[in-house]
Amino acid sequence: MRSFINGSVGTIVGETSPIEFRFLISRMIGNGTYVKAKADGKDWVLARVENLRRSNTAFSINQFNGSDNKRAGREIVLAEARVMGVGGNGRLHLPTTPVRPGDPVFLADDKLIKTALGLSKGELYIGQLRGYNICVELDANTLVQKHCSVLAKTGSGKSYTAAVILEELLEKDVALLIIDPHGEYISMKEPNREGDFAKFNLKPRGYDVVVYTPTDMATNLRADRPFRFYGLNLSARELAKMIPPENGSGQIGLLYETISALSAEIDPYSLEDIIDQVVRSNSKVKWNLVGHLESLLELGLYSSSETPLDELLRPGRASVMDMTGIIPELQAMIVAKLLTEIFEARKRQLISPGMLVIEEAHNYIPERGTGNAASTNIIRTIAAEGRKFGLGLMVISQRPARVDKNVLSQCNTQIIMRVTNPNDLKALSKGLEGMTIELEEEIKSLPPGIAMLVSNEIERPITVDVRARKSKHGGVSTPIISDKNSSAFDRLEAARTNSNSLKWPKIEYKSGGSLLRKIFGVGKI
């Protein structure tokens, strides 16, 4: 075997193949290190260290005798490297022949890594290649037009990472509509005061964020404005979508009869008029229907003055639809109506293109067998057809196995943080091309703030040290269950009176809405 060469980190040993090789380390390097070796003595082969093994002949099972001579044998460290490909013209291609045993292995230079992996293009700065000072930048048009998913277990930083991407999109004048069940993205208004800004060469800043609530402003004190659907001359078909489907055809039939009769008598008629007309009915199911309709009325979602669409979605602005205080079933109904109108308006080019962001996506597009949601069909349609009409989609979830696979399969950019649940890992394996046991183990052990990026624009999955947020992080903190200094009642009462805490409306059933408007500026970003 050849001796180590100056500047090398090791020498190739044993059998090699076009997709992997092993090398004896001459100076210590870590897992995830990118190395290079010559392919047939010409082009450089880029490889990534995926396993390290240390051994010492003095401590083999057969030879160990309990002596104190701990360094009697020769200690070696063997690295296992997976070939990424041969870099050329900004693309990777697999070598046709394996590297040669005995050849030296060197650390890959930044230029080779950037060029070979496709990191030298794009304008959305999301972080640095883990272990390197190499910026990872995604192409804005590809991300928006071909959809994106952010998947991770709770506490791994999925919402933080999603907000980093949203910051970059806002700086490119993309219009965003964020479906936010818990108000996590409200804080993007304010600059961040914590983070390693020097490392990532950043400056804190806040963004143009407007928070809407489908309920009343007294219920959600964090909202800037109420969100309202047009509430005059509502059709029976429109209102029927706001009635839980399990309530039977009797109520729906009564609703159609009522509105048919009412429309011939009053113009315009309101939700109150519909309720009055139902009350005068002789139907046995009228009081159940009245209960549903009064819940909608109390919510305040319908109004004679609807929220203007061009106000709701504007280039460079994030409109946050804060669903705080609304039960999940109604949230899905609101989202279904909202996104249906957006999609139809975009097809007619009545609004500009842009991106829809669905946080806690497993609640709005559950996988078959894990639940039902009124919003599933329209989100599936946008995932499949939205790119043709300039409507992008970002789905964010802590339970990949519970998110509709039809939607996830349409996301060409996937950002995966730590996942440990076996069902979620299985779901990821089905959706990711080239998933290996090594990649699965890496996903299970990713620390917070580190993400695996899989994209058609990047040649191989890479791990990224996600940059610091420029805006304030607003993740929902876990409430304290045990506190020696206060009773559970005192803590609940304090939370209830805190202006930033959740307040629940006095309703049983709830409903959906109408909306559309600007999504990120016409033409290229």
Q: Max Cα separation, the chain?
A: 102
CA angle at 178 for the pair 177 and 180, rounded to the nearest 5°: 150
β-sheet with 354-358: strand ranges across: 135-138, 124-129, 462-466, 450-455, 413-416, 148-151, 391-397, 354-358, 176-180, 318-322, 209-213, 225-226
Q: 369: which 2 tokens?
A: 């067998």
- Strand-strand pairing, 10-13 and 104-107: antiparallel
Which regions of the chain are under pLDDT 50?
1-3, 64, 477-489, 491-525
For 315-351, the three-class secondary structure string (H helix, E strand, C coil) is CCCEEEEECCCCCHHHHHHHHHHHHHHHHHHHHCCCC
Q: Could you give the CA distance from residue 365 to residue 408 in angstroms, rounded to a whole number? A: 10
pLDDT of residue 59: 61
DSSP 142-157: HHHHT-EEEE--TTSS
Measured between alpha carbons, how far is residue 407 from residues 234, 328, 364, 431 in Å? 31, 20, 11, 11
The backbone torsions φ and ψ at residue 232, rounded to the nearest 5 degrees and listed phi first, read -100, 145
Instruction: Judge: domain 135-227+307-477+485-497, CATH 3.40.50.300.
Output: yes
Virtual CA dihedral for 291, 295, 296, 297, nearest 10 degrees? 100
Q: Where exactly are the structural domains of the chain?
A: 10-117, 135-227+307-477+485-497, 236-299
Q: Could you give the CA distance from residue 130 to residue 13 in angstroms, rounded to a whole number? A: 27
Residues facing residue 460 across a β-bridge: none
Residue keyed to tokens 């696979």: 405
Query: Is the dihedral angle over the CA atoms 105, 108, 112, 118 positive or is it negative?
Result: positive
Q: Could you give the CA distance from residue 521 to residue 38 in angstroms, rounded to a whole number? A: 47
Residue of 269, 284, 209 whose CA lies nearest to 239? 269
C-alpha gyration radius of the chain: 28
Measured between alpha carbons, how far is residue 230 from residues 248, 309, 522 in Å? 26, 11, 27
